[in-house]
Amino acid sequence: MFGTISEEIEVHVPANEAWKIYGTIQLAHIVVKELPNIIHKVDILEGDGGIGSVLKVTFPPGTPLLTSHKEKFVVIDDDKRVKIAQVVEGGLLDLGFTLYKVKFEVIEKGKEICITKSTMTNKKRKTLCEYKIDHSTCTQKDL
Catalytic residue status for 83: yes
Q: Pairing between strand 97-110 and 113-124?
A: antiparallel
Q: d(Cα 41, Cα 32) in Å, to the nearest integer? A: 6
Give the residue from 115, 124, 87 showing the smallest Cα distance to 102.
Answer: 87
CA 114 to chain centre: 19
Q: d(Cα 64, Cα 33) in Å, to the nearest integer? A: 21
- The residue from 70, 72, 83, 124 that is catalytic is 83
Q: d(Cα 133, Cα 130) in Å, to the nearest integer? A: 9
Residue 98 near residue 91 (C-beta atoms within 8 A): no
- Residues labelled as active-site residues: 83
